[in-house]
Amino acid sequence: MSNKQPITKHIEFKYEITPSIDPKIQNNFLTYVGADEGSANPNLSLIKKAADDDMESRPLSIVLGWMGSTQKLLIKYINLWTSRGFNTFSYRADYFETLSIFGLRSKAYEMLKQISNYLKERPNCDTIIFHIFSNGGGFLYWALIEFILANDEYKYIHPMIKGVVMDSLPTFTNTQLLTGFWSLAKPMGGSIATYAILPLTAPIWMPFFVLYRKYLTLPKNQFVHTVLYSTDDKLIPGSQVEAFLKRLNQNIRKDLIHVQKWEKSEHVCHLKLHTKDYINNINIFLKSIKAEEIRKTLPQSKL
């Protein structure tokens, strides 16, 4: 008898297979996993559109993994949300897909269509959160935010975004961008050719890197930001995250920014190494979203 443990222990509610979540549709790049059966409704919106037992209209968490991650690696993060009553979309970009930025942006646009179709199929779903990892998840998040705001067809989605959890990101300075290409060479095979070629792609990336910084710290994103990082991260040093936080604090209300810094924690390993802290930050994140929704109803609120 095999002692192999299942990847996931959650009990998924059985959903109707609508076009936006049908895995057989070619351009449905986002993988759907529904909320756990019997999970409580997070009820993040004060204006309640759906009944608690309307599982189809639960809040949506979009989990965007790091370069080279797999569904098996991401499932523990997906389960953080499904166990809390969220339906989820997820995606994991590979190294070459991420580095070929034009293709990644094209795919992000197709993902946005899928998200929009999902919301139209579920008009009572009015809450979206993001959980993003490293630059691989950050690049997709930036492209989605950019496309949402640039297209009238999708602008209705932006007010639905209530927050983002940012794990082990971002690269934020030009110097580190160049250094980062060297850091990527080892997980991509570590050949001499890889070390030689990757830095040569920097001129192509530089204009997009400006957009990356812009949309990660965009003043219009006045929603909860939970930033999780370590000073011991070898791929994205703590100084990079701190440079990002300096800009973020200039553009986003300080009460919407929550930071957890660890001294000893490897890249995208914070949940594994600091489980209690990580889960506590997720719970604070959700409480902060509810607090912000209450604040919006106050007469003195400036939206």
> Percent of the chain, pLDDT > 70?
84
Q: What is the structure's pLDDT at 96?
A: 73
Cβ-count burial of 181 within 10 angstroms (0-12 exposed, 13-18 middle, 19+ buried)?
buried
Q: Could you give the CA distance from residue 77 to residue 175 in angstroms, rounded to a whole number?
A: 31
Q: Could you give the CA distance from residue 104 to residue 143 in angstroms, rounded to a whole number?
A: 9
pLDDT tens per residue, range 43-96: 898 776 677 788 989 999 999 999 889 999 999 999 999 999 999 999 998 877
275 in Cβ contact with 266 (< 8 Å): no
| Stretch (H or E) spanning 31 | strand 31-33
Q: What is the mean pLDDT of residues 7-19?
A: 69
The vertex-118 CA angle with 116 and 121, nearest 5°, equals: 110
pLDDT tens per residue, range 173-228: 867 666 655 565 556 555 665 555 666 666 677 788 899 999 999 999 999 999 99
Q: Could you give the CA distance from residue 231 to residue 237 in angstroms, rounded to a whole number?
A: 6
Q: What is the structure's pLDDT at 178?
A: 61
Q: What is the structure's pLDDT at 3?
A: 43
Enumerate helices (H) and strands (E) in the chain, giving the number of each: 10, 7
Q: What is the structure's pLDDT at 184?
A: 59
Token pair for 128: 């979206």
- DSSP 8-state secondary structure symbol assigned to residue 36: B
- Average pLDDT over the chain reads 88
Q: What is the structure's pLDDT at 5?
A: 38
Token pair for 29: 């790049």
Domains present along the chain, CATH in parentheses: 19-171+219-295 (3.40.50.1820)
> Which pLDDT band holds residue 6 (cuts at 50, 70, 90)?
very low
Q: What is the structure's pLDDT at 51?
A: 74
Which of 101, 28, 95 has the alpha carbon at shortest distance from 66? 95
> Which pLDDT band holds residue 1 (cuts at 50, 70, 90)?
very low
134 in Cβ contact with 267 (< 8 Å): yes
> Percent of the chain, pLDDT > 90?
68
Q: Is 218 helix (H, G, I), strand (E, B) or coil?
A: coil
Reply yes or no: is the peptide bond before residue 42 cis, omega within 30 of 0.
Answer: no
Question: Which of 17-21, 147-151, 219-223 has the weakest average pLDDT?
Answer: 17-21
Q: What is the structure's pLDDT at 207?
A: 84
Judge whether residue 133 has pLDDT over 90: yes
DSSP lists the bridge partners of residue 260 as 228
Q: What is the structure's pLDDT at 176?
A: 66
Q: What is the mean pLDDT of residues 13-29?
A: 89
Q: What is the mean pLDDT of residues 141-170?
A: 98
Judge whether residue 14 has pLDDT over 80: no
Q: What is the structure's pLDDT at 252?
A: 98
> Which pLDDT band holds residue 2 (cuts at 50, 70, 90)?
very low
